[in-house]
Amino acid sequence: MEFRYLGNSGLKISEITYGNWLTHGSQVGNDVATQCVRAALDEGISTFDTADVYANTAAETVLGEALKGERRESLEIFTKVYWPTGPGGKNDTGLSRKHIMESINGSLQRLQTDYVDLYQAHRYDVETPLEETMQAFADIVRQGKALYIGVSEWTADQIRAGVELSRELGFQLISSQPQYSMLWRVIEDEVVPTSRELGVSQIVWSPIAQGVLTGKYKPGQAPPEGSRATDTKGGADMISRFMRDEVLSAVQDLEPVAKDCGLTMAQLAIAWVLQNDNVAAALVGASRPEQVADNVKAAGVKLDADVMERIDAALGDVVVRDPAKTLEGMPKTRVV
């Protein structure tokens, strides 16, 4: 395992970070989830990412149990706030001071820890003044409940405004957590340059495009039974944007590239996002312990320029690059 600094801070995190979105508390049983976390620890992963909304708080509980007994100082634990949790009442969502202050307490209890290393705004809240949100984050940092603050799926302008306020309030906003993969590159034109300027790193989710970049989905064929594309609990919806024959055909052309590099297609996809110097970590989940060991082999891999060019040539026009997609995907009102 290799480690990278997160933003303009002294915090180092494992460049392969274990995330439990769509798995813990929903897709896999708690015993398998614990096995996956133990496998991550065995492979040198020290950084774990979750969110209160995952499985409506159950994912945090599972992660807290799985990490029980580990030396807290050797771990970096991340969670998030924004989406509705609990019964879904009028204040059980968003980035209001009330929801943030109550949510951090709930997350700490479920994770069985006194603090999280990184507390992230899971989306931008268009209905709450940014000043209110940033003041709440500042107070959480001063209370010692979070060491650093991050955001997820914010535009470049929103990141800039957030960083400016964080500096005025005396805390560090050091990370952005966007979707990023060979197929989804919408952060490259605006978010990444702005983040570099401001000392913000990317912690990218879905580097394997929800499994599409493994090559297991074939054009013209039904998805494998038990795969994410058949998951009616949310996985199928998320992956649907990539389940087009032209995308799946282009992905198949990556197989010889991966083979020439001595990598699986999944490892190639993870290594690809880590070539971006603004990426501090790739978030990787697992439904089986052996997947963790396989994905970790992407750590430290350096891809030559000709490999990067072959990847671009193989994928061609199926790559999504429009930076407006970040704003388009943002909730237009606070979700209840």
Catalytic residue numbers read 54
Please choose, from the candidates 7, 32, 34, 4, the residue with its C-alpha nearest in 3D space to the C-alpha of residue 16. Answer: 4
Which has the closest alpha carbon to 181: 247, 98, 231, 229? 247
Task: Quote the tokens at residue 143.
Answer: 């209370």
Number of H helices, E strands in the chain: 13, 10
Listed residue (252, 232, 257) closest to 242, CA to CA: 252
Tokens of 163: 């960083």
Record the tokens describing residue 222, joined without a space.
Answer: 């039904």
Burial class (CB in 10 A: 0-12, 13-18, 19+), 166: buried
Whole-angstrom distance between the N-terminal and C-terminal Cα of the chain? Answer: 40
Give 260's contacts (C-beta < 8 A, 6+ positions apart).
307
CA distance 238 to 85: 20
Q: Tell me how crowded residue 220 is: count the other CB atoms within 10 A of its CB.
A: 7
Q: Which helix (H) or strand (E) holds 99?
A: helix 97-111
Q: How many Å apart are CA 318 and CA 270, to the nearest integer?
A: 18
